[in-house]
Structure 1
Amino acid sequence: MGVVSLKQADSTRAETLSIRRLQPTIGAEISGVDLTRPLDDATRDAIRAAVLRHKVVFFRDQDITRDQHLAFARQFGPIYTHPTTTGVDHHPQIHGITAADFAKHEQARKEAAAKAGQPDTAHEDKYHTDTSWRLVPAWGAVLRGVTIPEVGGDTIWVDAEAAYNGLPDDVKRRLEGLHVTHDFREALNKVGRDYPIVAHPVARRHPETGATILWVNYSQKPQILGVELAESRELLTLILNQYKRPEYQVRFSWRPNSLAFWDNRAAVHYAVRNYGDFPRVVERVLIADQAHYADL
């Protein structure tokens, strides 16, 4: 598959395609394309280049079906079916992310913490990247707004390359050669699956752009190997504080029929849960790195 250069991604117009930056290093809104129809090669390549350049891109007013959601994502690689996904309306590859499921998950976390005599961590910041527990994580994700509150429920994406570049040189030196584990076994075991704990570099090299990415998933019990636990916690706090800096972020306010398409290797994200008991629903499709990596 051909790829438009990253420099071109700011100004490329494949037919009527228009790409508008939202922040200096992360986020762009794409218009002039109808996602109900298959993309021509030039448009597909321009969108892919924009995802690489801007880490996350957004589309508005795309009234697409679930089949069209899958078809759009499939043009950028093989679809990855997450083992904990039950599917939506006979679409096993679509993960419905609902407010109700989140509430049940958080309640279970609180009860488990109380039973273990540990502090309640249900409301910790959960900046994360999807499938980081896998040896070869998904490269991309396409999220569609389905049932969206009038206000609230935004999603924040963080430029993990800029977050790394903004670290003091002494912290970069401390991170050299260190790896982080992400433990997803509890959720996998509940659906009868298991997967060994794998470790990825904390400062991870992007396989396509070559950029160094600060890559930690705070939703999956991260631990940095090769250092004392106290130092692991210290470094994880330093990294989390980088993620929280507004200059590395783009914040997207959802509307129905909005889509976000992001490079899962270059950005971490955080769902803002400030919409009370509104039954918010978004639906996600994951794109595997390569076909022969889909099950790794």
Structure 2
Amino acid sequence: MATGSSTGNRTVAVRPVAGHIGAEITGVDLAEDLDESVVAVIREAVLRWKVVFFRDQWLDHAAHVAFARRFGEPVVLGRRGSASPVDFPEVETTADRLELGGRFGMEHEEWLQRRRHTLLRGWHCDHGARVDPPAATILRAETVPPYGGDTTWSNLAAAYAGLSAPVRAFADGLRAEHRLGVGYQPRPGDDSYLRHLLDHQVASVHPLVRVHPHSGERVLYVNGYYVEQIVDVSRPESAALLEMFLDQAVRPEYTVRFRWEPGSVAFWDNRATIHLAPSDNAHLGFPRVMHRVMLHGEVPVGVDGRPSEPVTGTEVRRW
């Protein structure tokens, strides 16, 4: 059932699209100077449904940043690729990803293959190895393939709630190290990407279950991209536990899959979701150009009140 509110001559409606996660919001033009009541509807929908979708939104970079500022402080990344707009340091263009393989002496496909050591490797939250990962991400589509290229999100609060009570209690006391470059398979001989990872290492210890700072929900804070191991247990125990928790985190009933169109916008809570970038479109040869703005986030806090701790390269709010 759709919910929402009226503003002027327009009714803003929130229509859930899956049982645990995802809603489409209609009746709003994100390029406008939004009324605070509309901002409140969007904020509430993001908290409730974890990711919300908008169609037919024709934003330029300035409007994208202005919309993001209604919900927090945009992140300014210290390093971006040449595809990102020079005059808008808050905006990162996903076409930059295609440059990375070439920068390190590998074709893009080899670069991806060496980074993804398991089928769950692609699931991640944005910049999860930092001690203060972004609170939210707003991604808009400029050019998309005629088919393929969908993105999938999973609700980590629902995944936690779906665990049995004894396992929830066990998970509440665990912490895990999140590290950039987990599982990367080095190239024989000179490997410039490995040197890059070592020179720019980022790692933090996060609670395995974090408490959402606004909703109070407990979130199974795990992903396949950054998690190195669960601390204070043996490596074999850690591997078995991570497999169990990751399988739980991405169960189909906790997910939603979105078909992008030019002008589509997705706005998600990076504290309570992980997402999976598409891997079914590279062989098609169609361009896929997306732009994202992330919002500064808090240091995660566990059920016991302990915050995350930096290991290396994770000074708070330095990007």
**Alignment correspondent of 1:153:** 149
Q: Given the alignment, which residue of 270, 281, 287 partners 1:279?
A: 287
Aligned to 1:96: 93
Equivalent residue number for residue 110 of structure 2:
107
1:181 match: secondary structure: strand
Partner residue in 1 for 2:3: 11
Q: Letter of the 1:133 partner, please give it.
A: A
Deviation at 1:12, TM superposition (A): 2.5
Q: Residues 153 and 230 of structure 1: is their aligned pair in 2 closer, same or farther, counting only changes over 3 Å?
A: same
Q: CA deviation at 1:10?
A: 6.0
Alpha-carbon distance between aligned partners in 2 of 1:164 and 1:232, rounded to the nearest angstrom: 18
What's the counterpart of residue 318 of structure 2?
295
Over 3 Å counting, the alpha-carbon distance change for 1:177 and 1:84 in structure 2 is farther
Q: In the alignment, residue 239 of structure 1 is paired with which amino acid?
A: F
Equivalent in the alignment of 2:131: 135
1:224 aligned partner = 230
Q: Find 1:209's aligned residue among 199, 212, 215.
A: 215
CA distance in structure 2 between the aligned counterparts of 1:148 and 1:131, rounded to whole angstroms: 24
Count of aligned pairs between the two proteins: 280
Residue of structure 1 equivalent to 2:65 = 70
Q: By how many angstroms is 1:154 displaced?
A: 0.6
Residues 28-84 of structure 1: per-residue CA shift (max 9 Å, x gap): 000101111121111111111110111000000001111111111111111112334
The structural deviation recorded for 1:138 is 0.9
Q: Given residue 156 of structure 1, which amino acid in structure 2 is its aligned partner?
A: T
Query: Counterpart in 2 of 1:49?
Result: 44
Task: Report SS of the residue matched to 1:67.
Answer: helix
CA displacement 1:93-149 (0-9 Å, x = unmatched) = 2111136347655523656x8xxxxxx727654211112112221111100111101
What residue number does 1:4 align with? Answer: none
Contact 2:138–2:265 (8 Å) recurs in 1: yes
Instruction: Assess if the C-alpha contact under 8 Å between 1:138 and 1:264 holds in 2.
Output: yes
- Structure 2 residue runs without a partner (length 5+): 102-106, 183-192, 299-315
SS of the residue corresponding to residue 222 of structure 1 reads strand
- The alignment's TM-score, normalised by the length of structure 2, stands at 0.79
Per-residue deviation at 1:252? 0.5
Equivalent residue letter for 1:94: V
* Aligned with 1:264 (options 261, 270, 277): 270
182-191 or 154-163, which moves further after superposition? 182-191
Unaligned runs of 5+ in 1: 1-8, 114-119
**Pairing 1:245–2:251 present:** yes
Residue 96 of structure 1 aligns with an amino acid whose one-letter code is T
Please say which of residues 278-287 and 156-165 is displaced more in the overlay: 278-287
Q: Tell me the equivalent position of 1:116.
A: none
Whole-Å Cα distance in 1 between the matches of residues 278 and 14 of structure 2?
Answer: 25
Q: Which moved more, 1:183-192 or 1:220-229?
A: 183-192
Paired residues of 1:83 and 1:193 also in contact (CA < 8 A): no
Q: Secondary structure at the match of 1:260?
A: strand
Q: Secondary structure at the match of 1:226?
A: coil
Moved more, 254-263 or 274-283: 274-283
Distance 1:272 1:224 in 2: 27
2:27 aligned to which of 15, 18, 32:
32
Is the 8 Å Cα contact of residues 109 and 122 (structure 1) preserved in structure 2?
A: no
Identity of aligned residues (%): 37
Where 1:121 maps in the other structure, the secondary structure is coil
Structure 1: distance between partners of 2:25 and 2:270 = 18
Q: Contact conserved, 2:129 with 2:180, CA < 8 A, in 1?
A: yes
Q: What is residue 159 of structure 2 aligned with on the other side?
A: 163
Shift of 1:233: 0.8
What is the RMSD of the two structures over their aligned residues, measured on CA atoms? 2.8
Query: CA–CA distance in 2 between the matches of 1:82 and 1:189?
Result: 21
Distance 1:28 1:273, change over 3 A: same
